Chains A and B, each alone.
Chain A
Amino acid sequence: MAQMLVLMHAEKVSVLDIVKNLSKMPYVVDVFPTFGRFDVVAFCSVEKRDDVGALVKRIASLQGVLKTETLVEI
């Protein structure tokens, strides 16, 4: 198992939809909108490190997600 944190910049009007979509996505364990430099934060737990890239691509492709920054557990 590997944990990771995906930080997102998002279009303000899309934040609630992004949170809703992410909460249904596999491997996403906690997601919430935030004050501060980022708009949405998602804590994820992937089985294999190879899944990290695919999950980040999937998150980044959501409608309204502008930019992502990922912190992967070592």
Chain B
Amino acid sequence: MVLACIMIHCKPGTAPEVMETIKSIKSVRRVFETLGAYDVVVEYEFPSLEKLGITVYEIARINGVIATETLIETIM
């Protein structure tokens, strides 16, 4: 399994609901609301890039989500 860090910009005031919705997604290791450049941060474990793409698209469609940025683990 590979890890990804997904960082999310939300409409003001929507971060708590966005976070609750994300908690229900399978293989999410960690999700928390943050101060700083992003509003919600997710640590996600995925078996394939295709599965990651589907999940990021699912997150991007949650009501309140404006934009996402994904950092994928490199195997060095």
Contact = CB atoms under 8 A, between A and B. Distances in A.
Interface of A: 3-5, 7, 15-16, 30, 32-38, 41, 43, 69-74
Interface stretch (B20-28, B29-37, B54-62): B29-37
A73 B32 contact: yes
B56 to A, nearest CB: 12
Contact of A34 (B36, B41, B74): B74
Interface of B: 3, 5, 7, 29-30, 32-38, 41, 43, 69-74, 76
B32 A36 contact: no
A2 B3 CA distance: 21
Given A35-B72, A37-B71, A30 B32 contact: no
